[in-house]
Amino acid sequence: MDRISSKLRVGEKIGIGFALIGLLFVGVVWHFHETLRSVLADHQQLQSVFEARKSLALEIEVEMAGARNAERNFLLRHQERFAGDVDQRLQAMRDKVAALAAADPQSEQTARALQEAMTAYQESFREVAKAWRIMGLDENSGLQGAFRDKIHRLQELAARYNVDRLQTVLLQIRRSEKDLALRQDPAYGERVRKLIREFRQLIERSGLPDQVQHKLLAELATYARSFEPYAESALKSGNVAGGMGAFRDAAHRIEAILDAHYVPDLETSVLELRRREKDFLLRGGEAYPQMVVEIARRIHAQIAASPLSAADKALLAGLLRDYEQGFRDLVAHYDRIVQLTRGMDAAAERVAPLIKENVDQANQLMAARVAEIAAASRASIRLDLIVLACAIVLAVVFAIAITVRIVRPVRQMAGLLDDLAFGTPTARVKVYPGGRDEINAMAESVNALIDHRATFLGWWKSSMDELSARLALEGASSEEARDEAITDLRAATIARLRQLNAIRGRLLLHARSMVDVSRRIGAAGSVRADDGKALEHATQAMETLLEVLPPDDQPLGAGSGAGQVDATTGAGRVLVES
């Protein structure tokens, strides 16, 4: 690790340290971002899935309510536009159910059940609508129109055979006629004339056949003509001849004609028959068809007991039987509509529980999902705190590691410099060859300074030892003292030779460094700052070491005896002079 660190400059170390800390905090920010994105994705899922399911369920419920409302309007008003509204509502429901199926896989099964229930409801409604079309959406269509034509014809004939008002007016005419004979008051004659005019108008407005009307009008004209002489005679002479005359015979013939076309209470019975028919169409139920059957039986009896001709009786009875058959078909078809409507209601009732089930399921799933999101958020918060703490710890570790690798060698160099000022240090700062670190360069310089100081001190000490030995040799008074001085001089000379060998070794190292730098310069074609600095340091070191060596004209000398002493003395002299 220290070797790798030595390859980096102090600025690069600081930059890398800040970059690592920045990367740590970028990782923390990225982790927070991922956590936030996950939370947002969860909330978007709540909005896009569960809230969408609830919203779609409510929209489906609204559309179903609209379809049921249109269905009720169709059953009440029997208008085709309401049937179209039901189909439109159901189509809108299908679109929303398809959207519900696409919301999530859990909604797909509910959507299929809703589709099946809707299809069953729509098919049931179409059967009901078809049945109502057969029955008749109004009084002029379907089965209603068919039997209505028959009852209208019967009602028309019943009105034709209703001569109650004609008989009443005829009786009033006969009474006024007799009052004239009894009281001989002209007012009764005028009353008879007025009633004759009214009777004529009633005949003209009646539903009797034209030939019957002609007969009645002819007989009425005969009665009116024959009544005038009778009235004049009754007022003048009081001779009424017992009320006999042509007018009386005409009145009897009129009565006979009316009796021949009179069925008592026929029109009233027909109206009562229509009333019960309307009651059934309006309210339904089993009582009204029975009432219609009883009234029809009574009308048959009235027709059979009437003085009508056989042809007229057959016509009335045939119309009544056709009406009864049509009404029975209507009742049977109405019962089928009731059964179809129950099936339609049952199919519609299947939809509401499915919608409610979907809403309840969405609420439950949303509550569970909210709980999961809350738990995941709490876990994410804890994890974020752990990641942040780890990032802070790693940042501190990186800062300490980088700071230590900057501060420790500086502190060591400060101690060595302090030792250098007050003593002779033996330790060295650890140096990595080829390092680019400024601290490493400072360490090389400090080590070189210590080495140079040690070299100079060693050289100076050996020179002083040599000088002392030479002085002792010169001042030796005995052979024993001379031998001791020569031994000391030889030891000093050997020490200096060792120092020279050491200097030679360092010179060789600097020379090799210069060779390597020159090769790199030749290969690169330019001088790098590091190589230039290394070349400068090597040159300065060689210059310093060369200054230690004596000049060529003052060799160190070799051998023994006086020659050795002279050489040693010369070397010592050179050192002293230096």
Assign 3-class secondary structure to 239-283.
CCHHHCCHHHHHHHHHHHHHHHCCCCCHHHHHHHHHHHHHHHHHH
Whether the pLDDT of residue 171 is over 70: the answer is yes
Calculate the average pLDDT of the chain. 76
pLDDT tens digits, one per residue of 423-480: 677 677 777 766 667 777 777 777 777 777 777 777 777 778 878 888 887 877 788 8
| Dihedral angle of Cα 565, 570, 571, 573, to the nearest 10 degrees | 120
Rounded to whole angstroms, the Cα distance separating 327 from 276 reads 11
pLDDT on residue 155:
67
Q: Are 111 and 100 in contact (CB under 8 A)?
A: yes
Number of H-type helices and E-type strands within the chain: 17, 0
pLDDT on residue 237:
67
Q: Are 174 and 350 in contact (CB under 8 A)?
A: no
pLDDT on residue 208:
75
**SS3 readout for 411-448:** HHHHHHHHHHHHCCCCCCCCCCCCCCCHHHHHHHHHHH
Asked which of 186-190, 456-460, 493-497 is least confident by mean pLDDT, the reply is: 456-460
pLDDT on residue 194:
92
Q: How confident is the model at residue 158 (pLDDT cuts 50, 70, 90)?
A: low
Q: Are 223 and 249 in contact (CB under 8 A)?
A: no
pLDDT on residue 411:
79
pLDDT tens digits, one per residue of 221-263: 888 888 888 777 777 766 556 556 677 788 888 777 777 766 7
pLDDT on residue 6:
63
Q: What is the pTM of this model?
A: 0.49
Following DSSP, what letter does each residue of 299-321 receive, concatenated?
HHHHHHHS---HHHHHHHHHHHH
pLDDT on residue 571:
39
Better-scored residue on pLDDT, 426 or 71: 71
Following DSSP, what letter does each residue of 198-242 receive, concatenated?
HHHHHHHHS-S-HHHHHHHHHHHHHHHHHHHHHHHHHHHT---GG
| Dihedral angle of Cα 390, 394, 400, 405, to the nearest 10 degrees | 160
pLDDT on residue 306:
77
pLDDT on residue 88:
92
Rounded to whole angstroms, the Cα distance separating 442 from 436 reads 11
Half-sphere exposure (Cβ direction) of 344: Cα atoms closer than 13 Å: 22
- Tokens linked to 194: 């007025």
Better-scored residue on pLDDT, 571 or 446: 446
What sign results for the dihedral spanned by CA atoms 32, 38, 39, 44?
positive
pLDDT on residue 576:
34
Q: Are 484 and 444 in contact (CB under 8 A)?
A: no
Q: How confident is the model at residue 552 (pLDDT cuts 50, 70, 90)?
A: very low
Q: How confident is the model at residue 543 (pLDDT cuts 50, 70, 90)?
A: low
The share of the chain scoring above pLDDT 70, in percent, equals 79
Based on its alpha-carbon atoms, the radius of gyration of the chain, rounded to whole angstroms, reads: 70
pLDDT tens digits, one per residue of 296-343: 888 888 888 777 778 777 888 888 888 888 888 888 888 888 888 888
pLDDT on residue 69:
92
Q: Are 273 and 292 in contact (CB under 8 A)?
A: yes
Better-scored residue on pLDDT, 188 or 384: 188
Whether the pLDDT of residue 26 is over 60: the answer is yes
With tokens 């509509």, the residue in question is 337
Rounded to whole angstroms, the Cα distance separating 156 from 141 reads 20
Q: How confident is the model at residue 555 (pLDDT cuts 50, 70, 90)?
A: very low
pLDDT tens digits, one per residue of 99-142: 888 877 777 888 888 888 888 888 999 999 988 888 877 777 77
Ramachandran area for residue 86 (φ above 0: left; ψ -120 to 50: alpha; else beta): alpha
Better-scored residue on pLDDT, 353 or 106: 353
pLDDT on residue 111:
84
Following DSSP, what letter does each residue of 366-388 receive, concatenated?
HHHHHHHHHHHHHHHHHHHHHHH
What distances in angstroms separate CA 547 from CA 39, 47, 420, 451, 570, one per listed residue? 77, 89, 22, 15, 17
- Tokens linked to 447: 């080590």
